[in-house]
Structure 1
């Protein structure tokens, strides 16, 4: 059975899970701030979404980061490394792509994780 957590937008869920896999997506809750703060806020939301479905950031196996300006990738990556931690056993596979995002959104992150058993 698929478990879905509704988001704030019609037609899509913020997270879903099936068996031992979890998928979630997030953007910053405050788009008036720069890439570093938007990254921190987005990753905090990712962690909260994962917790709601029995997982957490240490269980992420794959992540896709979409940023509006690739010139700010280093700033984003610095915040990512702080968030993901020093233990290489918890580092997921990750891709980062430069894309056009809506309005003042500077980052969007989507992840696949495993539920804790």
Structure 2
């Protein structure tokens, strides 16, 4: 049995906003703003993740795993404040936060894996 792969085209060639396979959705997002404010970039990035999940037929209550790449680990606390205000506290996913060199002006990049709705 072959399961189809559904790709949701991205804004740039060679990239998808999300990919769905079987009962899993994979998505990655960064903020569009060049504003160097970790809180604003995190809010915008999480909003994109939420839109990508909805487009693929699921939502943040179905998140399984999230990896947050952050350019300045000294700002992790501010990013985490935004995260805690956004995440479904009844269905918290596994989450990792990794310091990384990101392409300017990005301060945060988020990778998420979610289950689709039944």
Normalised to the residue count of structure 2, the TM-score between the two structures is: 0.94
Report the secondary structure of 1:54's partner residue: coil
Q: Which portions of structure 1, spanning 4 or more consecutive aligned residues, are displaced by more than 6 angstroms?
A: none
Query: Quick check: 1:31–1:106 contact (8 Å CA) kept in 2?
Result: no
In the alignment, which residue of structure 1 is the partner of 2:20? 17
Alpha-carbon distance in 1 for matches of 2:78, 2:85:
11
In the alignment, which residue of structure 2 is the partner of 1:105? 106
In the alignment, which residue of structure 1 is the partner of 2:11? 8
Deviation at residue 12 of structure 1 after TM alignment: 1.6
Give 5+ residue unaligned stretches, structure 1. Answer: none
Query: Quick check: 2:5–2:19 contact (8 Å CA) kept in 1?
Result: yes
In the alignment, which residue of structure 2 is the partner of 1:67? 70
Deviation at residue 32 of structure 1 after TM alignment: 1.4
Once the two structures are superposed, residues 73-100 of structure 1 have per-residue CA deviations (whole angstroms, 9 ceiling, x without a partner) of 000000000000432xx10000000100
Q: RMSD of aligned C-alpha atoms?
A: 0.9
Give 5+ residue unaligned stretches, structure 2. Answer: none
Report the secondary structure of 2:109's partner residue: strand
Normalised to the residue count of structure 1, the TM-score between the two structures is: 0.95
In the alignment, which residue of structure 2 is the partner of 1:58? 61
